[in-house]
Structure 1
């Protein structure tokens, strides 16, 4: 988080998390509405549900925001509760790896399948 400059301002962290959370809630509501309007009952209907380009773009952006929100939360948790510089770095690295893995998995699932 030091690279982005977010680490220096608790207010920026708070605002970014709230914006991210609002976008995640909006995406969840959109997803529920879409699922209720066109229920996914088999593999083909799931493929059709995930096929539109706009859905892929919105989903990729939302999952990326979710992952970045997770990295920020991990950085804050590490700063508050993980004692020791080495353990803190390992915890932060794990949060970054998990977040990037999540983004990569969504990209593979939505765009490369």
Structure 2
């Protein structure tokens, strides 16, 4: 998380992670509710399910929150368990690269 400069204190990290987790749970509940009301049975119904702009925006925000939460979690895990400075930097770099790959892939799938 030092790479992004967000949430340098433990309390801010805890609050940021809990808020992002709450938003992910809220999105999941909305997704489940929509799937119950509009079952996806084939590719066309899946495309129609993700067609509304508000749902694309909500999904994009959730993917970004998920990815940033992954960066924060990776940074915390590395801080707790990785003692070598080189492995620490490599692990955090991999978490950031993976998270941005998730964002790019999610945006590409939703909007292109």
TM over 0.5: yes
Query: How many Å apart are 1:5 and its aligned residue?
Result: 4.1
**Counterpart in 2 of 1:47?**
47
**Counterpart in 1 of 2:5?**
4
Is residue 97 of structure 1 aligned with residue 97 of structure 2? yes
**Counterpart in 2 of 1:21?**
21
Aligned residues: 111
Structure 2, unpaired ranges of 5+? none
CA distance in 1: counterparts of 2:13 and 2:64, whole angstroms: 16
Query: How many Å apart are 1:83 and its aligned residue?
Result: 1.6
Question: For residues 13-63 of structure 1, what are the alpha-carbon distances to aligned partners after superposition, in whole Å with 9 as ceiling and x for unaligned?
Answer: 000000000000000000000001000000100000011110010000011
CA distance in 1: counterparts of 2:23 and 2:6, whole angstroms: 22
Query: How many Å apart are 1:4 and its aligned residue?
Result: 2.3
The CA RMSD over aligned residues, in Å, is 0.8
Query: How many Å apart are 1:82 and its aligned residue?
Result: 1.1
SS at match of 1:6: coil
SS at match of 2:45: helix
**Counterpart in 2 of 1:66?**
66
SS at match of 2:5: coil
Structure 1, unpaired ranges of 5+? none
